[in-house]
Amino acid sequence: MPTEPNKRAIAVSRSATAATPRGDVRIGTPGISRLADGLAFLREFLLRPGTVASVAPSSVYLEQRVVQAAALTDARVVVELGPGTGGTTRALLRAMPPQARLLAIESNPRFCARLRQRIADPRLVVQEGSAVDLLAHLEHWQVPAPDVVVSGIPFSTLPVDAAQRVAASIEACLAPGGRFVAYQLRAHVAFCAEPHLGAPQIDWEWRNLPPMRVFCWVKPLP
């Protein structure tokens, strides 16, 4: 297991002693957990509006649509960019196979601490850092090519060069046949990813607040 370098990266699973079956994720009382997540999300939005995607975390409807687009049944490695307070993270873990791994990359240190506190699943590793450094994070954790990359990062708020670098890194690291799923209010992610992965499939989740587009790309086989 990697040691200290790379921005205080800490495995959430350090207190776990055995593999957790699919769906056995410590999430607390659902209603209370969602309310607390919502308040934490709103606080961070007010403090850092340019780096938080919305005033509220993803709804259960959006989480379900993202999981469906990700097609996780046979996934071995999943990467989540911008997990926030962890609603989508929990949904991904519930859908992932028992032996899969989830690397969650989050730039907000308070969100990172919250994820480590509130989700106890040995399949999850939380990495504090930037999605721009995706390839370095994968190398640091000795993670093979991911089968799925899920992004909640608002590409519309990223500098153009950073957004393009993230999209290029996703294409470079994805396994052949792998999926890139991004849930976004605006379409900036498509402009960045299309040169690398072609045209996406796009679905709307109107029951989310605000309504969100779910973009899905599949990396071609060789």
CA pair distance 210, 48, nearest whole angstrom:
18
pTM of the entire structure? 0.80
- Establish if 2 belongs to a structural domain: no
- pLDDT for 58 equals 85
pLDDT of residue 16: 34
Are 182 and 72 within 8 A, CB to CB? no
- Quick check: is 4 in a domain? no
Interacting residues of 203 by C-beta distance below 8 A, sequence separation 6+: 65, 69, 213, 214, 216
Residue 11 lies in a domain: no
Q: State the residue range of the domain holding 64.
A: 26-218
Tell me, what's the pLDDT at 57?
73
How far apart are the C-alpha atoms of 39 and 162, rounded to whole Å?
Answer: 29
Q: What is the pLDDT along the chain (222 residues), one digit of tens a residue?
A: 444 444 444 443 333 333 344 444 544 444 446 666 655 555 655 566 655 555 557 899 999 999 999 999 999 999 999 999 899 999 999 999 999 999 999 999 999 999 999 999 999 999 999 999 999 999 999 999 999 999 999 999 899 999 999 999 999 999 999 999 999 999 999 999 999 999 999 999 999 988 999 999 999 999
pLDDT value of position 65: 98
Tokens of 95: 């859908």
Q: Is 10 a domain residue?
A: no
Which residues, other chains included, contact 209 with Cβ-Cβ below 8 Å and sequence gap of 6+? Answer: 54, 56, 59
Strand partners, 214: 183, 203
* pLDDT reported for residue 46: 54
Coil/strand/helix, residue 167: helix
How many domains does one find in the chain? Answer: 1
Is residue 33 situated within a structural domain?
yes
Q: Residue 13: which residues within 8 A CB-CB, separation 6 or more?
A: 120, 121, 122, 123, 124, 125
pLDDT for residue 188: 96
Is residue 18 situated within a structural domain? Answer: no
139: in domain = yes
Question: Residue 118 falls within a domain, yes or no?
Answer: yes
Q: How is residue 44 written in tokens? A: 């961070």
The CATH number assigned to the domain holding 161 equals 3.40.50.150
